[in-house]
């Protein structure tokens, strides 16, 4: 995880340096063009000096390309990249995702509540943002919580399999003050492959790919039955 963060920070620095270089290069070319237009015919601009400056800029560009390659290698190193993902192959993992998919009449989320509340309401929202179900949990304490939905709407209608849902958690205290909450969907499944997507290492859980940093739990997959 730390290596991935270092790699991202390195890429940010490289991108900033590249933007700065591009601006400086444009400014240099404008000054060079102006200088050539207004040079004294009896004392022309020293071409050796111009060649040296252009060579220096080319060298900086080559160094930035080298830095890109090094950053990519860091991303794939054994400390936090592809090798770590390969170790998850065939494992049963739990990952935090933006949405939870209803599968086998079950969808799961985790949410964090800043402090204890006197009233909590959990709303399950479909992909259009419409409230499908509203639940009043018994546990209103602060801290981390998990929430499992059986896929039934408030009217008791079973929702179709494969639908993606999010939750909205509203918590208030005895004074009616809103308490801060954050919610994430949970995805459980066996890792089938590992890829690198634009420098971000991804693990595939079924047909869904998630960043390796979103994996929060790993266990051995259950043995196959005949």
Q: Rounded distance, CA 54 to CA 34, Å? A: 16
Q: How far apart are CA 166 and CA 56, in angstroms?
A: 53
Q: How far is CA 47 from CA 35, 50, 57, 158, in A?
A: 12, 5, 16, 79
3 state DSSP class of 103 = coil
- What is the reported pLDDT for 163? 92
Burial of 85 (0-12, 13-18, 19+ CB in 10 A): buried
Written as tens digits, the pLDDT of the chain (226 aa) is 444 444 555 556 555 655 665 566 676 677 667 767 777 676 666 666 666 766 676 666 666 666 666 665 555 444 445 667 778 888 899 898 988 999 899 999 999 999 999 999 999 999 999 999 999 999 999 999 999 999 999 999 999 998 999 999 999 999 999 999 999 988 888 999 888 887 788 889 888 888 888 888 888 877 665 5
Distance between CA atoms of residues 14 and 71, nearest Å:
9
CATH number of 100-185: 2.60.40.4070
| Exposed/middle/buried for residue 187 (C-beta within 10 Å: 0-12, 13-18, 19+) | buried
Give the SS3 label for residue 199.
coil
Q: Structural domain boundaries of the chain?
A: 2-75, 87-94+187-220, 100-185
Q: What pLDDT is attached to residue 87?
A: 81
């Amino acid at each position: 995880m730390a290596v991935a963060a270092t790699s991202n920070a390195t890429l940010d620095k490289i991108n900033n340096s590249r933007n700065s270089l591009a601006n400086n290069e444009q400014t240099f070319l404008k000054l060079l063009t102006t200088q050539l237009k207004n040079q004294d015919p009896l004392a022309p601009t020293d071409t050796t000096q111009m060649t040296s400056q252009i060579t220096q800029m080319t060298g900086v560009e080559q160094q930035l390309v080298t830095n890109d390659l090094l950053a990519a290698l860091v991303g794939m190193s054994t400390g936090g990249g592809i090798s770590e993902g390969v170790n998850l192959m065939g494992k049963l993992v739990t990952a935090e995702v933006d949405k939870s998919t209803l599968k086998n009449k079950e969808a799961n989320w985790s949410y964090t509540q800043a402090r204890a509340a006197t009233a909590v309401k959990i709303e399950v929202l479909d992909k259009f943002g419409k409230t499908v179900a509203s639940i009043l949990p018994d546990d209103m304490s602060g801290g981390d919580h998990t929430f499992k939905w059986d896929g039934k709407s408030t009217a008791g209608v079973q929702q179709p399999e494969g639908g993606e849902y999010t939750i909205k958690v509203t918590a208030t205290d005895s004074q009616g003050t809103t308490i801060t909450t954050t919610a994430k969907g949970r995805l459980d499944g066996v890792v089938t492959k590992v890829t690198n997507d634009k420098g971000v290492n991804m693990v595939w859980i079924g047909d869904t790919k998630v960043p390796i940093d979103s994996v929060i739990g790993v266990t051995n997959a259950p043995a196959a039955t005949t």
